[in-house]
Amino acid sequence: MTGRRCRGCGSDQLDIVLDLHSVPAADQFPEYASAGSDDARHPLAMVLCGRCALAQLADDDTVADEPRGIEPKALTDQAAEAVAVVADSGWLRGSTVREFGSPHGGTWLPLLSDRGVDEVEPGQRADVVLDCFGIMHEPDQADAFAVRAASLAEDGVLLIQFHTLSAIVREGQWNALRHGHFAYYSLTSLIHLLAGVGLVARSAWTFELYGGTVLVAATRTGVPDASIREILEAERAAGIDDAQTVGALDTAAETDRAMLHDSLVELKSAGKVVFAYGAASRAVALFAMAELTRSLLAGVADASPSKQGRRMPGTDIPIISPAELVAAQPDVVLLTLPDLLGELDASIPELRGRWWLHGTDIREGTR
């Protein structure tokens, strides 16, 4: 490829590993009254750096404008678990923290405050610098890591959590690619980025969220422990720095698109009423690529009031409230975010046994 440089190391050794061509912006949910208009489409592709192994968004000409969602219980539970693990492992150092938040919301600050670690004043360096799913939203990755390193006290610790590329590839989660998400990290690529700002990955913990997230503790000095070495060895064995391996996502995208469209056609022919739950940004490209319409998918419920009354970009499918979903008495509900299943089973018992998890074949049954 020519004309592009790696967002992390500046190399021009970039290979396209996933190309969704032109799809609607993932963070712009139009008012439903505009249904029928032609929504703008934008290129969406992932490239892999041959030097530092960073998977990244190739280009992005969109302007972020996503209505704020509601933080899922799965995320809040995972945050509490992560803070506990870090504290028990002795990595919760000092008494001050600076958090670089995610545009999608959520914060660890109350959890840290309960443990005597409080937010610093603007401009001050902190004993703990925290980034949970935030740094991937930065177009200039090298600069973003430099800013976080500069915010860190000399003997402080950077805690950074990310949805690992290994899980994305292993589970065919091609729809993790979206506008506004500029980087998709493996521990291999993260170590390169940390080294560029004088930091060393010291320890890591893996969680089940999103099929696999990793939390890393990094400092200015020291030696990586066994947890770092184990993850790196697993990534090498999986070929996570290989363009052909990561390129399996391209095949997964086409398989998923065809399965969703064909399954919805079959369900409609059988007289089934199908809705979805989760007007998630990662569902935007899928719905557009599968050429879904309201005739196949009657609506998408979402708990965020700011999304209700809007529609899925590139479609005429309305976004409704959970109460409207229950009132519609659907036969099947496509769950675009499978991590929500436990929470929804508890909060919407009326729909138990009707959930169809995205990425599974409807013929495997609902849950």
> How does pLDDT run across 70-110, given as a tens digit for each residue?
678 888 999 999 999 999 999 998 999 999 988 877 899 99
152-163 sheet: strands from edge to edge? 118-119, 96-100, 126-132, 152-163, 213-219, 200-207
pLDDT at 2 over 70: no
74-92: string of b/e by CB count within 10 Å (b at 16+)?
bbeebbeebbeebeeeebb
DSSP 308: T
Residue 65's pLDDT is: 66
Amino acid at site 340 = L
Q: Is 231 exposed, middle or buried (0-12, 13-18, 19+ CB in 10 A)?
A: buried
Residue 69's pLDDT is: 63
162-181: string of b/e by CB count within 10 Å (b at 16+)?
bbbbbbbbeebbbbbbbbbb
pLDDT in tens, 117-131: 999 998 899 999 999
pLDDT in tens, 206-238: 999 999 999 999 999 999 999 999 999 999 999
Dihedral sign for Cα 91, 95, 100, 103, please.
positive
Strand segments, DSSP code E, in 164-314 are 183-184, 200-207, 213-219, 274-277, 300-301
Show the tokens assigned to 316. 């005429």
3-state secondary structure of 259: helix
Residue 3's pLDDT is: 64
* Helices (H), ranges, 10-140: 73-88, 109-113
Dihedral sign for Cα 291, 252, 212, 176, please.
negative
pLDDT in tens, 261-316: 999 999 999 999 999 999 998 899 999 999 999 999 999 999 999 999 999 999 99
pLDDT in tens, 187-212: 999 999 999 999 999 999 999 999 99
CA 76 to chain centre: 15
Residue 359's pLDDT is: 84
Averaged pLDDT of the chain: 94
The CA distance from 13 to 51, in Å, is 7
3-state secondary structure of 152: strand
